[in-house]
Amino acid sequence: MLASIIGQIGHPFYLACAWLLAAFFALVPNYAIAIALLTLAVMIVTFPLTLRGTRGIMKMQLLAPEIKKLQARYKVLPGMGVAERQELRQRQQQEMSALYRENDVSPAGGCLPMLLQFPVFIVLYGTIRGLVHRGVLKGTLAPDPLYISHGSKIYLAVQSAHGHLVSFGLNLADSLRTPGLGWDARLPFIAMILVAIALQYVQMRQMNGRRPTAAAATPQTQQLQQLQRVFPLVLAVIYVSIPAGVNLYFIVSSLFRIAQQEVMYRRDPHIRASVEMLRAEAAPG
C-alpha cells in the first residue's frame, strides 16, 4: 500500500529524472557519466536551498549569546512545581520563536540540505529500478525499461544489454547484496560504499572545522553535529542494498558539496561576514 502511494506521488518525478538521464546518455553513451551529469544537474537546481541552509546555520550561531541569555533567564530551578516549569518552558519557547522570526532564522534550516537527499534518493532509486524493469514482450520476459521513450538511445542500450547497466566493467544495476556475486565481484561495490561514507565525514569535518569553538557550543549546533555523525551511518545501511548507480549519485553529490562549501565559505559575502563576526566573538579579550 505504502509503496503504491509513493509510486503514484513519485511518478512525475521518475519521468522527469528518466528524461534527463536519457538526454545525458544521448550526449555521452555511458551510464556512469550520465548518472554523474544528472547528479550535477540536481545539485545545481538545489543549490539555492543549500546556500540558504548554510546562511541559516551561520545566523543561528550568531544568535548563540541571545539564546544562552534566554536559557539562563528561564532556567528551571530545583523545587519548582510542574505548572511553574511548564510555564517557564512555554515562555522561553515563545521568546526564542520571536527571536528567530526577528532574525529570519529557522532552527531546522541547517538540516534541510541533508534531508533533501532522501526524496532525491527515492526518485533516483525508482528511476534506476525502472531502467532494469522486465516485462512480457512478444510473449517472452525481456528488459522493458520504464519512464523513458522506447525510441531513446538508453532504452535500446538497456534492451540490447539484457537489462544490465554496465559502465567501466561494473553493472550499476547490481548492489552488494545481489545474489550470485563472488567476493571478487563484490569488491568494487564495497569500495564505492566506503568512499561514499568517507566523503560524508569529509563534508562534516569541512563544515564543523570552520566554526569557532564558542559557536559550536550552542545546543542547536550540537544537535546538528549529532545528526551529522549519525547520518552517514544511516546511509551506510542503505548503501549496502541499493544499486551501484544510486551509490554513484551519493559519491558525486558529496564531491560537489565539498567543492560547493569551499566556494560558499570563500565567496559568499553573507557567510564570510558571519564567520568573521563569530571569530571576533570567540577571540579572547
* pLDDT value, residue 211: 58
Task: Please say whether the beta carbons of 96 and 70 come within 8 A.
Answer: yes
When the pLDDT of each residue in the chain is averaged and rounded to a whole number, the result is 80
**Position 21 pLDDT exceeds 70:** yes
Please give the C-alpha separations between residue 54 and each of 117, 133, 158, 199, 215, in angstroms, as whole numbers: 15, 39, 40, 18, 14
pTM of the complete model beyond 0.95? no
Lowest-confidence segment of 129-133, 247-251, 269-273 by average pLDDT: 269-273
Residues with Cβ within 8 Å of 203's Cβ and at least 6 positions away in sequence, in order, are 254, 257, 258, 261
Residues 222-237, mean pLDDT to the nearest whole number: 70
Residues 121-129, mean pLDDT to the nearest whole number: 84
* pLDDT value, residue 25: 95
Residues 141-161, mean pLDDT to the nearest whole number: 87
* pLDDT value, residue 32: 95
Can you give the residue ranges of every domain in the chain? 2-63+103-282, 70-102
Task: Please say whether the beta carbons of 43 and 253 come within 8 A.
Answer: yes
Query: All 3 cell numbers of residue 115?
Result: 534531508
The separation between CA 39 and the C-alpha centre of its own chain, rounded to angstroms, equals: 11
